[in-house]
């Protein structure tokens, strides 16, 4: 799996957009970008994933640069319940490389 680089921590005011960056400059053509988060004492939660097009779902938006070397996860209106560690992971879709390898992630603190 390609390695990713994320800032160790970020703060965001409640109600504002949280933009979490991720660098994955060695990503391969068949690797997807996945985002997960882990709220304290819970299992990791799937947020969103994409290959090269921008993606949006009910939780977040994923913006992938044209060269695919970086991406940004956007939480449009952060709430206190979004405080968590956010993991950016690149992963092939199938085969023996289909496992998720977690790094250290970004600890997002949403404040009043």
Partner 1 sequence: DAGVIQSPRHEVTEMGQEVTLRCKPISGHDYLFWYRQTMMRGLELLIYFNNNVPIDDSGMPEDRFSAKMPNASFSTLKIQPSEPRDSAVYFCASSLGGAIYFGEGSWLTVV
Residues that bind partner 1 (CB under 8 A): 34, 42-46, 49, 93-94, 96, 98-104
Residue 31 · residue 44 · CB < 8 Å? no
Between 53 and 96, CB nearer to partner 1? 96
Give the CA count within 13 Å in the CB-facing half-sphere of 96.
0
Between 8 and 67, CB nearer to partner 1? 8
Q: How far is the CB of 46 from partner 1 (least distance, A)?
A: 4
Between 67 and 95, CB nearer to partner 1? 95
């Amino acid at each position: 799996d390609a390695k990713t680089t994320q800032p160790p921590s970020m703060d965001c005011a409640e109600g504002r957009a949280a933009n979490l960056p991720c660098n994955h400059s060695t990503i391969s053509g068949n690797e997807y970008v996945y985002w997960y988060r882990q709220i304290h004492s819970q299992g990791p939660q799937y947020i969103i994933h994409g290959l090269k097009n921008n993606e949006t779902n009910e939780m977040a938006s994923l913006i992938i640069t044209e060269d695919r070397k970086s991406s940004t996860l956007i939480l449009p209106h952060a709430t206190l319940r979004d405080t968590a560690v956010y993991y950016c992971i690149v992963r092939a879709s199938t085969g023996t490389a289909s496992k998720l390898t977690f790094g250290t992630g970004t600890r997002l603190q949403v404040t009043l």
